[in-house]
Amino acid sequence: MECSHNNISNKKVKKEIFDMTFEAKTSVCNDCGAHLRDNEYEKKYMQWLEGIYKERRDKFQTQCHFSKNLVKCAEAYLEDYPGISPTVFFRALVTIYFNVVDGDGKKSSQLESILDAEIYDSFIQDKDRKKVTIQFKPKMMIELLAIGEFLGESTSTIVEEVVVKFMTMITSHDERLRSFWENEIRDYLDMFLKGA
């Protein structure tokens, strides 16, 4: 039978992240040990993360390796967006992917079914690669860490896959991919890059 968490006390709990420990009090079920994190706990946690974000930017970065050809395509695309660097662009793509595509089953399966495998594979398999460091905001970074833990993959692998998917969309001449980009992604990207 599932625990209904009726027997609660306020206890200090620990959370390990980035090789550091966050400690705060929250409701804990005495029967099953579940941490019932309330808004106050989440607020403290975000404040703690913001503090780390200020001191340890490196903890919120992923080191990716992209095909040099892909980076060139990104630079060409960004000619229409003066002042935006590829790293800011890649961060935008990842944020949009997880906020717009990934949580929407219809959109993500549509994208998977029309993705141009030939271009995707050519970017993935290209041995001529360039290291790119991408900086994320605390919220996005903890989301990436959670997804990574769930999938058993590193955050850089997840980021690389998303960027390659979107760059496949941008560089393909396939009409379905083009219209997916224009209809589902383009406006979000313009919004994001204006605020960058």
Using CB under 5 A, list all residues that contact Zn ion. Answer: 3, 5, 29, 31-32, 34
Q: Smallest distance from the beta carbon of 10 to Zn ion, in angstroms? A: 15
In the bound state with Zn ion, the residue whose beta carbon lies nearer, of 27 and 61, is: 27
Q: Smallest distance from the beta carbon of 16 to Zn ion, in angstroms? A: 22
Q: Smallest distance from the beta carbon of 8 to Zn ion, in angstroms? A: 8
Beta bridge partners of 129: 67
Q: Smallest distance from the beta carbon of 179 to Zn ion, in angstroms? A: 49
In the bound state with Zn ion, the residue whose beta carbon lies nearer, of 5 and 137, is: 5
Phi, psi (rounded to 5 degrees) for 25:
-85, 140
Question: Is there a contact between 142 and 75 (Cβ–Cβ < 8 Å)?
Answer: no
As given in the structure block, the two tokens for residue 185 are 């992604």
Which positions ≥6 away from 72 have C-beta within 8 Å? none
Identify the burial level of 6 via C-beta atoms within 10 angstroms of its C-beta, where 0-12 means exposed, 13-18 middle and 19 or more buried: exposed
In the bound state with Zn ion, the residue whose beta carbon lies nearer, of 31 and 104, is: 31
Angle between helices 155-171 and 117-125 (to 10 degrees): 130
In the bound state with Zn ion, the residue whose beta carbon lies nearer, of 29 and 142, is: 29
